[in-house]
Amino acid sequence: MDLKVGLKGRAENVVYEANTAKSMRSGSLDVFATPALVALMEAAAVNALQFEAGESSVGTALEIIHSAATPIGMKVWAEAVLVEVDRRRLVFEIDAYDEVEKIGSGRHERFIIQEDRFLSKANQKSGNLKNQ
């Protein structure tokens, strides 16, 4: 995979009942939930990347500001730009918008992984739990 600073990705969604703060239990209002914004931002970063078979990436850090509320029915989107590549570590700057204004921004870190090794290590937890 050819990773270069400047790669861009985008993800969009519409605010609907299931991704509101009230439904996601991150608040009591029918507005776009912060956890949904996090997922949208991560999706934008993932959409900037294309991997060889057997490779993927996982999110390891995300720092965001959710600066404006968005009501049900409005379109929201996030735009990610790869700003740093350090071997397997990738850093993105991400901005999010609704149809009226900027609603958030953040910085997101991902690591490139080999799927088989990653899943093998993760699945070992189940075996460790059974042995306790």
- Give ∠ CA 36-40-46 in degrees, rounded to 5: 140
- In order of start, what are the domains of the chain with their CATH numbers? 8-130 (3.10.129.10)
- List residues forming the annotated binding site for substrate: 59, 110
- Predicted local confidence at residue 130, as pLDDT: 66
At 93, list the tokens: 């700057």
As to burial, measured by CB atoms within 10 angstroms (0-12 exposed, 13-18 middle, 19+ buried), residue 33 is buried
Determine whether 42 is an active site residue. yes
Q: Say which of 17, 52, 60, 66 is annotated catalytic.
A: 66
Catalytic residue among 12, 34, 55, 93: 34
Compute the average pLDDT of residues 9-35: 98
Q: pLDDT digit string (tens) for 24-70? A: 999 999 999 999 999 999 999 999 999 989 999 999 999 999 999 99
Q: Which of 12, 17, 20, 42 is catalytic?
A: 42
Amino acid identity for residue 96 in this structure: A
Q: Can you say which residues are annotated as belonging to the binding site?
A: 59, 110
Reported pTM: 0.92
Tokens 């861009």 found at: 8
Annotated binding site for CoA: 59
